[in-house]
Amino acid sequence: MPGSSQPEFKILVANFSRPMPSLLRGSLPKIGPVKIRTAFEFRHLPQLGFADTYVGAGVARSLVVFTLQENLDPFLVNPPSRPTGDVEVSDNGFQGTQASLFVGPFELASNRDFVVAGAAGATATNIAAAISNLPGYDATAAGAVVTVEGPAGAVGDRLRFRAAYRGGVKNFTFTFVGEDDKLGFTANNPLRPPTILP
């Protein structure tokens, strides 16, 4: 999902250690509250992509724009790992093109984008080859398990990694590094929470 990073900016706030004193009789003495925070520092990371909603045997696609309120740290001591995840061919009984594997913005349909072989390990090898042909992606097969690496960058943990089945067989089992249905970083995530300024 393509994204861009805007300059950091500050949001001025006034957070206090206790509520303002009441003016009603019998209330606590008028002791002014202590200010404990003055600002937050944000960086917007807008992203553009598609949301998929599965209805029956069809796929409805709609354009989505959303913004992450996080900071991008381009000066990490160690560069971030490429986003990754594992998918296992747990059932080799693919029915035509009724199973789709979604990797980032790409869809790989069985018997269309990868060849279903006679054994799960051979099918996994064909899936790895198909993913490696996608720009920015690499994949390797070990037995029936395919390890996928996505393109490096701040939006690496927002790349979709899931499947859709329009038949009666669930062919894939996923192992996610972070969030379900997404590729994830194993080390040095380049995104960090907003900075709280004193």
pLDDT at residue 8 in the model: 66
Look-up: residue for tokens 């969030």? 179
pLDDT at position 45 over 80: no
Which long-range contacts does 93-96 make (Cβ < 8 Å, 24+ apart)?
Answer: 93/169, 93/171, 94/123, 94/169, 94/171, 95/167, 95/168, 95/169, 96/167
Which of 145 and 59 is assigned the larger pLDDT? 145
pLDDT at position 40 over 90: no
CA 33 – CA 57 distance, rounded (Å): 59
Closest CA to 55 of 175, 195, 164: 164
> Per-residue pLDDT tens for 78-95?
667 789 999 999 999 999
Closest CA to 153 of 177, 189, 178: 189
CA 178 – CA 74 distance, rounded (Å): 21
| Cut 0.85: pTM above it | no
> Per-residue pLDDT tens for 114-168?
999 999 999 999 999 999 999 999 999 999 999 999 987 766 677 899 999 998 8
Which of 14-23, 65-74, 104-113 is predicted least confidently?
A: 65-74
| Domain assignments of the chain as residue spans, ordered by start | 76-190
Task: Quote the percentage of the chain above a pLDDT of 70.
Answer: 54
